[in-house]
Amino acid sequence: MEETVYHRIVLKLSGEALAGSQGYGIDPEIIDSIAKQISEVTDYGVEIAIVVGGGNIWRGVAGSQQGMDRATADYMGMLATVINALALQDALEKYDVETRVMSAIEMKEVAEPYIRRRAIRHLEKKRVVIFAAGTGNPFFSTDTTAALRAAEIEAEVILKATKVDGVYDSDPKINPEAKKYKELRYIDVLRKGLAILDSTATSLCMDNMLPIVVFDLQQPGNIRRVIMGEPIGTFVKGDEHE
């Protein structure tokens, strides 16, 4: 079997990615397609952790903008990520992928509590680990969760799944002349205000020299292509990688 470039990864999925074209809730066909791609990667022995957002059900920022207490709105968003994590677990297990959901908010009836050493042990046993409920704290996004968990479990890369094939200097759907970046430095992402991860998450990646690959999840087989080292999407790195 071919050798992979990465052996332990964090896959960041937005809640919106699970909604598909319907824009809200969970699209069964989309989540099945994602589960199939992940199952293909597990066949290579790659250790996979997943951080899933909750924007297809509830966005804390949107709630606070409508007058809701920000902390309360964020806690609701964390609970939305648990719903998505359980749905993804179910989809993965249909492909015989052993999966564990670990929640930063304790709810032992449906998920394990997040314990770093236990998470690493699950990964070593080739179980897919889904991190739910964000960091367990309001005012932090699931992007920041992905950066934090990746640093904690010593992942080699964060795979940021999107609906476009990389990072552009402007919206390619609006501007046909938009330029795609093949590589970026963390500092350029922050200076240009590029919407890859939020600034807190990007800074955390920069501090820990965690590379980020931004790629199109809608193209079947792209997760496998990334872990095999194919030059797809946009690679975000620090000076030490150059």
Question: What is the domain partition of the chain in residue ranges?
Answer: 8-231
pLDDT the model gives residue 1: 63
Residue 188: alpha-carbon gap to chain centroid: 21
SS3 123: helix
Q: How far apart are CA 154 and CA 150, in angstroms?
A: 6
Entry pTM: 0.93
- Does residue 83 surpass a pLDDT of 50? yes
Structure tokens at 67: 């007058």
Phi first, then psi: give them for residue 213, nearest 5 degrees. -115, 120
Residues 218-230, mean pLDDT to the nearest whole number: 93
Q: Decide if pLDDT at 242 tops 80.
A: no
Question: Could you give the CA distance from residue 193 to residue 242 in angstroms, rounded to a whole number?
Answer: 22
Give me the phi and psi of 237, to 5 degrees please. Answer: -150, 180
Highest mean pLDDT among 147-161, 192-206, 228-242: 147-161
Average pLDDT, the chain: 92
Q: What tens digit of pLDDT does each residue of 52-81 get?
A: 999 999 988 788 888 899 999 999 999 999
What pLDDT is recorded for position 112?
98
Strands in 183-185's sheet, in edge-to-edge order, are 112-113, 99-103, 128-132, 47-52, 8-13, 157-162, 212-216, 234-237, 183-185
Name the fold adopted by 8-231.
Carbamate kinase (3.40.1160)
Mean of the pLDDT values across residues 181-210?
90
Residue 98 clears pLDDT 90, i.e. is over it = yes
